Amino acid sequence: MGAGHPRVQVNLYQDTNADGNIDDINGVAGVQLADVDNYPFNNFPGTEDIDRNTNGVFDYGDALQVAWTDSWDDNLPTGAQGDVFSLHGLPTDCYDGLRNFNQVRPAVFDGGYRSRGRPGDG
């Protein structure tokens, strides 16, 4: 997966013996893939999500970790120099253009992610 894809779920599985099969780490016979929580988040299971065993609870299955890529739209920067103005009817702050004179502000970029680990891993 290339960078620049916001709100995408990324699952990490292991194959310790390199046989091409996902290792069973949850103690249930066979391979269980992680459920999929698609955007909008915090409504699992929504109509856009995949609840593989239909129990209404997000399950990691045999995934070691699950993460979601960042979205610029969910973490807009604030505090840029200059006045906030409207672009196509939307207020802008820290607009990426000549007006902000190449400011650099802390912010996320579409497609970055960090693993969250399995529940209980701390």
Q: Does 91 fall in a domain? A: no
Q: Does 55 fall in a domain? A: yes
C-alpha span between 6 and 96 (Å, rounded): 18
Total count of domains within the chain: 1
Whole-number pLDDT of residue 73: 79
Band the pLDDT of 2: cuts 50, 70, 90: very low
**For residue 69, what are its two tokens?**
């890529």
Q: Does 65 fall in a domain? A: yes
- For the residues 53-75, what does the mean pLDDT come to? 91
74 and 41 in contact (C-beta within 8 Å)? no
Q: Does 44 fall in a domain? A: yes
Q: Does 84 fall in a domain? A: no
Band the pLDDT of 100: cuts 50, 70, 90: very low
Strands 9-12 and 65-68, by their bridges, are antiparallel
Whole-number pLDDT of residue 33: 97
- For the residues 92-98, what does the mean pLDDT come to? 59
Residue with tokens 């391979």: 31
* 27-39 tens-digit pLDDT: 999 999 999 999 9
Q: Does 45 fall in a domain? A: yes
For residue 29, the enclosing domain spans: 1-75+108-122
> Rounded to whole angstroms, what are the CA distances from 110 to 2, 95, 113?
10, 16, 9
